[in-house]
Amino acid sequence: MTTLGAFLDRATATLRAAGIAAPRHEARWVIDAILGERRLDGARRLSAAEAERLEAALARRAAREPLDRILGEREFWSLAFRLSPATLSPRPDSETLVEAALSLLADRRRAWRLLDLGTGSGALLLALLSELPAASGVGVDLAPQAVATAAENARRLGLAGRARFAVDDWAAQETGPFDLVISNPPYIESAAVATLEPEVRRFDPPLALDGGADGLAAYRALLPAARRLLAPSGWLVLELGQGQADAVATLARGAGFTHVSTRDDLSGIARALLARQPGGAIGG
Ligand code: GLN
């Protein structure tokens, strides 16, 4: 029989030894997540069942598994997304893309048709559908397990009626047209993947991280796909890795897109690239 305070001390030491920064904070987050106790009573005795759940979570966190994966769920756009080993854990930075897309699809009542390339947990598409009540969309991913997780998320969020998910390679099976194509593609240079934090390198799927030798391979593949699938004057919104704005803008213009611009994330990093399919309205 151990107390919460004793567990906190031991968990802190274990996480420190595992190389985790701010180990006491992280130990408290584990306790909060597992027991739902924000106000920590150090003298409280843990039941055997509680101690077992805490120990299991602590062991996983000490192995550098992120807390959201231990819990199996992460919040994005204030919605809860289930995760699986095949899905990237959605990051707050990616909310920049949702904001940018919503600014382009200003008429919230329209039946916008959306496509999410490399949908993972479905976070981008489902966040948009949650804001656009008449819109519908398709999310594709190369990983069948990601597609299954995204479909489960759509059901849990009550959006399954307007979302379809499919295993596909940059939407080769789709015919469109779509009003908006959105994507958070893999953009880390292959050689840099090994230098990422263990939480990312060991637990986010390599398919969702590795952007080839120069980090731009996925953009080269998806830009022509987006050109083929977008309606005239449709919009493309892509996540960018740090420092990639100029290179991806050049690729987008080279692929025939117009109106290329970027939006910063909360850290001031150009995180979203916006580009428009030519055609349609005069001056478009
Ligand atoms: N944002 C992730 C990271 O920096 C990378 C995601 C991606 O490659 N699209 O770890």
Both 26 and 163 in one domain: the answer is: no
pLDDT of the residue at 281: 57
Q: Cβ distance 149 to 87 under 8 Å?
A: yes
The verdict on the CB of residue 66 being under 6 Å from ligand 1 is: no
Tokens 């897109």 correspond to 257
The verdict on the CB of residue 184 being under 6 Å from ligand 1 is: yes
Residue 193: exposure state from Cβ atoms within 10 A (0-12, 13-18, ≥19):
middle
Residue 102: exposure state from Cβ atoms within 10 A (0-12, 13-18, ≥19):
middle
Q: Which domain holds residue 14?
A: 4-63
Looking at 16, 33, 63, which one is the last position of a domain? 63
Q: Which of 83, 184, 271 to mutate to test the pocket of ligand 1 (most atoms within 8 A of CB)?
A: 184
Residues (pLDDT < 70) of the chain are: 1, 281-284
Both 25 and 97 in one domain: the answer is: no
Rounded to a whole number of angstroms, the CA Rg of the chain reads 21
Both 93 and 39 in one domain: the answer is: no
Both 51 and 78 in one domain: the answer is: no
The verdict on the CB of residue 200 being under 6 Å from ligand 1 is: yes
CATH number of the domain bearing residue 250 = 3.40.50.150
**How distant, in Å, are the alpha carbons of 118, 181, 197, 222 from that of 228?**
17, 11, 37, 10
The verdict on the CB of residue 188 being under 6 Å from ligand 1 is: yes
The verdict on the CB of residue 216 being under 6 Å from ligand 1 is: no
Both 169 and 202 in one domain: the answer is: yes
Distance 279 CA to ligand 1 centre (A): 32
For the CA of 94, the closest atom of ligand 1 is 1
Distance 95 CA to ligand 1 centre (A): 13
pLDDT of the residue at 284: 43
The verdict on the CB of residue 57 being under 6 Å from ligand 1 is: no
For the CA of 239, the closest atom of ligand 1 is 9
Distance 123 CA to ligand 1 centre (A): 14
- Does some domain include residue 170? yes
- Does some domain include residue 284? no
Q: How many structural domains comprise the chain?
A: 2
For the CA of 209, the closest atom of ligand 1 is 8
The verdict on the CB of residue 186 being under 6 Å from ligand 1 is: yes
The verdict on the CB of residue 187 being under 6 Å from ligand 1 is: yes
Looking at 63, 82, 109, which one is the last position of a domain? 63
Q: How far apart are CA 159 and CA 221, in angstroms?
A: 29
Both 59 and 77 in one domain: the answer is: no
- Does some domain include residue 84? yes
**Long-range contacts, stretch 102-105, CB < 8 angstroms, 24+ apart:** 102/128, 102/131, 102/132, 104/180, 104/235, 104/237, 104/274, 105/132, 105/135, 105/179, 105/180, 105/235
Q: Cβ distance 149 to 121 under 8 Å?
A: yes
Both 82 and 153 in one domain: the answer is: yes
The protein residue whose alpha carbon is closest to atom 10 in ligand 1 is: 200
Q: Which of 102, 100, 97 is nearest to 112 (CA)?
A: 102
- Does some domain include residue 122? yes
User: 275 phi and psi, to 5 degrees?
Assistant: -150, 150
Both 271 and 177 in one domain: the answer is: yes
Looking at 13, 35, 63, which one is the last position of a domain? 63
- Does some domain include residue 68? no
Q: Is the dihedral of CA 213, 268, 264, 258 positive or negative?
A: negative
Both 106 and 57 in one domain: the answer is: no
